Structure 1
Amino acid sequence: MKKRVTLTFPRRTIQMPVTYRLAKDFNVAANIIRAQVAPNQVGKVVVELSGDIDQLDAALDWLRSQDVGVSLANREILIDEDSCVHCGLCTGVCPTEALTLDPKTFMLNFTRSRCIVCEQCVPTCPVEAISTNF
């Protein structure tokens, strides 16, 4: 099973080897999607966790016990078909190729199942046709 979560680290826990502990203690793989971490500051990491459901739940409970804020990421990318001009700029920044241009029609294709909601496409769109829901 996979879960996408946002982890918020208080200043005192920023040095904790989280991905190591998740793998070693809970057999949970962590794919870091986005991270903003700096010494003496609150850190935020968006991560996709993979593993057995019971191990995932135990890992999330452990993170909470370490005063790490855990929130499930339920956001998704939204594309306004009426605004999109199919320029393809978003396809160049999409790390999973969830956004592609059809080679025959040059129309934008969005494969939601491949999207990791990294949001790199959002600021790239010149007509602001891409957004996230909250």
Structure 2
Amino acid sequence: MKKRVTLIFPKRAVHMPVTYRLAKDFNVAANIFRAQITPNQVGMLVVELSGDIDQLDAAMEWMRSQDIGISPASREIFIDEEVCVHCGLCTGVCPTEALSLDPQTFRLNFTRSRCIVCEQCIPTCPVQAISTNL
């Protein structure tokens, strides 16, 4: 089973080897999509956890016991077609190639199923046509 979640780390927990503990103690794999971790500050990690349902539940319970906040990662990328100028700058920063330019029409294509919501495209867009639902 897979679950995509956002983990919020309190200041005291940002030094913890959480992904190591998930793998070693619970046999849960953590695919990291986005991380913002800074010493002595609140940290944020967007991950896809995969493993047996019981192991996932135990791992999430352990993280809660460590005061790590867990919420479903349900954000999505939206592209405003009326604002987009199809310049293609976003395609250069998209790590999964969810954004691409059609070679015939030179129009932007967005393959939502490939998007991991890393948000690297948002600051790259010169006309601010890309946003998230949150």
TM range (shorter): over 0.9
Matched length = 134
Name the aligned partner's letter for residue 3 of structure 1.
Answer: K
Structure 2 residue 79 is matched with structure 1 residue 79: yes
Give the aligned partner of residue 132 of structure 1. 132
Structure 1 runs of 4+ off > 3 angstroms? none
C-alpha distance after superposition, 1:106-132 (max 9, x if no partner): 111111111000001011111111110
C-alpha distance in 2, partners of 1:99/1:60? 32
Give the aligned partner of residue 46 of structure 1. 46
SS in 1 for 2:61: helix
C-alpha distance in 2, partners of 1:67/1:133? 26
Give the aligned partner of residue 89 of structure 1. 89
User: How far does residue 51 in structure 1 lie from its aligned partner after superposition?
Assistant: 2.1
C-alpha distance in 2, partners of 1:47/1:73? 8
C-alpha distance after superposition, 1:27-51 (max 9, x if no partner): 2111222222222222111222122
SS in 2 for 1:71: strand
Moved more, 28-37 or 17-26: 28-37
Q: Which runs of 5+ in 2 are unaligned?
A: none
Give the aligned partner of residue 103 of structure 2. 103
C-alpha distance in 2, partners of 1:57/1:106? 46
- Aligned-residue CA RMSD (Å): 1.3
Give the aligned partner of residue 69 of structure 2. 69
C-alpha distance after superposition, 1:50-97 (max 9, x if no partner): 223332222111111111111111100001111111110000000000
